[in-house]
Amino acid sequence: QKEVEQNSGPLSVPEGAIASLNCTYSDRGSQSFFWYRQYSGKSPELIMFIYSNGDKEDGRFTAQLNKASQYVSLLIRDSQPSDSATYLCAVNINQFYFGTGTSLTVIP
């Protein structure tokens, strides 16, 4: 089992819809969780991080963490075509592990 797993997609949503991206991780002891966005040919950029169980909101983005079930998700409300990118989940399990990313396309 990989340390961090994501559905590679592609995930397509219409403009204005909610995009839901999921990530599972292997180590119950993990303490910190990160979501990055990566446009094609560019480097990852941090969207948000979450350390505690529950929800964390930042603008149109909400991160949800459930440590008991070992998953972290990212919701993007009112999706825009500019949100079309690959979304990377990263978990600190003694060292940082990234998932392979989920490709999101927002259709105008």
Give the residues lining the site for another protein (CB under 8 A). Answer: 4, 32, 34, 42-46, 49, 88, 90, 92, 94-101
Q: How is residue 82 annotated by DSSP? A: G
Q: Which is nearer to another protein, 21 or 101 (CB)?
A: 101
Q: How far is the CB of 43 from another protein (least distance, A)?
A: 4
Q: Which is nearer to another protein, 45 or 78 (CB)?
A: 45
Q: How far is the CB of 73 from another protein (least distance, A)?
A: 17
Q: How far is the CB of 107 from another protein (least distance, A)?
A: 22
Q: Which is nearer to another protein, 14 or 51 (CB)?
A: 51
Chain-centre distance for alpha carbon 106: 16
Q: Which is nearer to another protein, 2 or 77 (CB)?
A: 2
Q: How far is the CB of 49 from another protein (least distance, A)?
A: 5
Are 94 and 32 spatial neighbours (Cβ–Cβ below 8 Å)? no
Query: Would you tell me how many other CB atoms lie within 10 Å of the CB of residue 45?
Result: 11
Q: Which of 65, 40, 41, 62 is nearest to 54 (CA)?
A: 65
Neighbouring-strand partners of residue 1: none
Neighbouring-strand partners of residue 49: 34
